[in-house]
Amino acid sequence: MPPGEAPEWVREKWVGLSLPLSQRAGGAKTFFTAGVITGPRGFLPTILAWLTGKFSREEGYLVESRAAIEVLEEAHPDAAAWWRKNTPHLLRANRYLVFHPGAGHVDD
């Protein structure tokens, strides 16, 4: 189960799903991240977060948010509904989720 700010019952629903990677290489990478609930929303809040050190470096796999939630919708509509209701900012273009390396594996 991936760690994160979503409720445990929602995070449990990711288990067993195949998600499309948004990165070229299959290995885990390091990214600057912020919480899906507590992270900045918008250009100016993001700049302020950068300047004040609010981002953390996390290792994981990059997945486009909208694509991930669409896969989740097929298997667990209730969990996808939680994401749509509580994190609508992640449904815009060029928004990503980072899945911890311990939460899955990459298939060739």
**Diameter of the chain measured on Cα atoms:** 39
Range of the domain at 41: 8-101
pLDDT at 108 over 70: no
pTM above 0.85, yes or no: yes
How many of the other CB atoms lie within 10 Å of CB of 28? 19
What are the structure tokens assigned to 1, written together?
A: 């189960």
pLDDT at 42 over 90: no
* Domain-embedded: residue 16: yes
* Domain-embedded: residue 86: yes
Q: Where are the beta strands (DSSP E) in 65-102?
A: 96-99
Q: Per the structure, how many domains does the chain have?
A: 1
pLDDT at 26 over 80: no
* Domain-embedded: residue 106: no
To the nearest whole number, what is the mean pLDDT of the chain? 92
* Domain-embedded: residue 3: no
